[in-house]
Structure 1
Amino acid sequence: MERIGVIGLGSMGYGMARSALAAGFEVIGEDLDAARAARFRAEGGAAQTLSGAVGSLDAVVVVVLNAAQTEAVLFGPDGVVAGMRAGAVVIGCATVAPDFAREMEARCRAHGVLYLDAPISGGAAKAADGRLTVMAAGTPDAFAAARPVLEAVAETVFALGDGAGAGSAMKAVNQLLAGVHIAAMAEALTFGMTQGIAPERFVEVIRQCAGTSWMLENRAPHIVAGDYAPRSAVTIWPKDLGIVLDIARGANFAAPVTAAALQQFLAAAGMGLGQEDDAAVAKVYARNAGLVLPGEDAA
């Protein structure tokens, strides 16, 4: 495998594209934001457009926001699948419902194209270092075709099944926990403030205690620094936790903790915080309790 396309050069996709470049691939990067695509070309990305080179690609890695965008880039008016050669592979990395992943696999198969259901986890820093975790499911042929790319962008690849859907199901489980942990971190940190515990002291102590989590250790320092530049934006969570709840309803499964966390992210979005880092959900708690977070002006 020598030539791949990466569609979606956001915080995760850009890092994945750079990791593939570092591993020796020729990489064509494409994004709705022309400046991101131009930046990637300036840093070593191929000069061709994806539409002009799609027939020569061995793999297309789709790192867009949601199912609608995934379907559009694969099968829309300018969708890539129709132009891909037989035996090439689509690596679908967006968080989507398992049924949608199975649908994409079937539609790709009708064109002779392989599909790997391959949602990712790890954040922008691990994407840039080629150290992501991939929760993958697909046929043995899809795994074989995708393996060189996976080796370039991931530290850990879990093979979860021989057909699409299982990877997206596992990602939904992960997102349930991740979203709940962020909301719980924000609740605990601001609760501590009501008891005179400064946010920096909260981080110092709790990260050494049983109540810690990866999300707490990663996101709480953003609050301490008053830094809400979006590594992962608030708007991600209404989408991802919404997917979790849709799947849960289909399984007749009650997920009340997930629903409660979702309401906090919706409240944050309603406050105009949608494009801030998801740690900004702490501002919902702070507003309701009359607290002033680090870096915020007292009103």
Structure 2
Amino acid sequence: MSTDDTTTAPVTAVLGLGAMGLPMATRLAGAFPARAFDVFEERRTLAAAAGATPAATPAEAADGADVVVIAVRDQDQLESCLFGGGPVEKGAAGVLREGAVVVVTSTVGVDGVQAVATRLAERGVRLVDAPVSGGAVRAGTGDLLIMVGADDTALEAARPILDRLASTLHIVGPRTGDGQIMKTVNQLLCGIHTAAAAESLALARALGIDLDRAVDVLGQGAAASFMLADRGPRMVQQYQAAEDGTGGPELRSRLDIIRKDMNIVVSLAKKAGVATSVAAAADQLYQLAMSQGLGAQDDSALVTLLSPRTAG
């Protein structure tokens, strides 16, 4: 299939237009006939402005689609989009033709994606397990890391879509769930690195170091990481907002999402019999943030838990 000729390009539906889903829909609409669904009308309006055709239900978006890309928060939302339930009355699975492919980009865990794959297979629909990493900005430019678990037939059908979204595409294995396993390992590091960045900046602040300078210095040495470079400036904004009442950073990655992912990490590690004590400690820090009502905030808000409101 050609990504330049929309008469032969796969008809695509994107279900879920959150922080990752909307930029992915925007990216896909630039190359394919694309439809887009979200439970919130304002998100559908944004997708329409980007060139996608808005749909009021997952079924409307998926009717006649070759590939359905799902970018939702958790297992419950995944099942709702496909099979109905909750705020969604008409799930996509009921209208998908035999041979269609569902691409799950969400982090839902091995058991969750395998359960969905089994139900779809009963309808003759294939599933590509394809969780993503890279953030919203990279999603909009086709610069994502995508970790895939799928058989060759499903992968071939979804390949034009995956290639449009990814700069780095890794076929982890042929099994549904292989992508989720790799993403879980990825999130272990991401969750720890974010927590470590928060602790480092909280310490720097408590000791009277300028935080902008701290982020700059740390980013140029052995302590550098993607999460520090991405979250660090937003953590500085979190402190500034707490001190002077200015607006905090743009919401780009909800704290309850990384908490959900770290819960998957700890659960899978326990099942595998692997000690992940550092990940467990980070998980508890995110749980503390959740208990303080920070779940809907950007995950950079984690830093505000770790030192007094005013620097020492």
TM-score between the two structures when normalised by the length of structure 2: 0.89
Give 1:27-106 correspondences, 5 Å limit. 27-49=34-56, 50-52=58-60, 54-76=62-84, 78-106=90-118
Q: Report the Cα offset of residue 270 of structure 1.
A: 2.0
Deviation at 1:42, TM superposition (A): 3.1
Distance between the aligned counterparts of 1:179 and 1:157, measured in 2?
22
Identity, % of aligned positions: 37
Q: 1:230 to 1:53 in 2, by over 3 A?
A: closer
**Which residue of 278, 282, 291 corresponds with 1:261?**
282
- What is the CA distance between 1:39 and its match in structure 2? 2.2
Q: Post-superposition shift, 1:182?
A: 0.5
Aligned length: 290
Give the aligned residue type for 2:10.
Answer: E
Partner AA of 1:152 in structure 2: R
- Contact 1:122 1:132 (C-alpha < 8 Å) held by counterparts: yes
Corresponding residue for residue 153 of structure 1: 165
Please give the residue correspondences for 1:87-126 in structure 2 after superposition, counting only pairs within 5 Å. 87-126=99-138
Q: Deviations over 1:277-298 (max 9, x none)?
A: 1111000102xxx2437xxxx9
Partner secondary structure for residue 56 of structure 1? coil
RMSD: 1.6
**What secondary structure does 1:133 align onto?**
strand
* Equivalent in the alignment of 2:310: 292
Shift of 1:53: 5.3
Equivalent residues of 1:101, 1:164 under 8 A apart: yes
Aligned counterpart, 1:8: 16
The answer as to 2:256 corresponding to 1:235 is yes
**Alpha-carbon distance in 1 for matches of 2:53, 2:194:** 38
Give the unaligned 5+ runs of structure 1.
none
Taking structure 1 as the reference length, the TM-score comes to 0.92
> Against the structure 1 CA distance between its residues 82 and 221, is the aligned structure 2 distance closer, same or farther, given a 3 Å change threshold?
same
Task: Specify the SS of the correspondent of 1:232.
Answer: coil
Q: Report the residue type matching 2:82 in the other structure.
A: L
Query: Aligned letter for 1:111?
Result: R
* Displacement after TM superposition at 1:75 (Å): 2.1
For residues 246-285 of structure 1, the aligned pairs below 5 Å read 246-285=267-306
Q: What displacement does 1:73 show?
A: 1.2
Match of 2:153 among 116, 127, 141: 141
**In 1, Cα distance between equivalents of 2:215 and 2:50:** 37
Residue 112 of structure 1 deviates from its aligned partner by 0.6
In 1, Cα distance between equivalents of 2:113 and 2:260:
16
Does the 8 Å CA contact 1:73/1:80 hold for their aligned counterparts? yes
Secondary structure at 1:134's aligned position in 2? Answer: strand
Q: Distance in 1 between matches of 2:209 and 2:62?
A: 56
Other structure's SS at 1:235 match: helix
Letter in 1 for 2:20: M
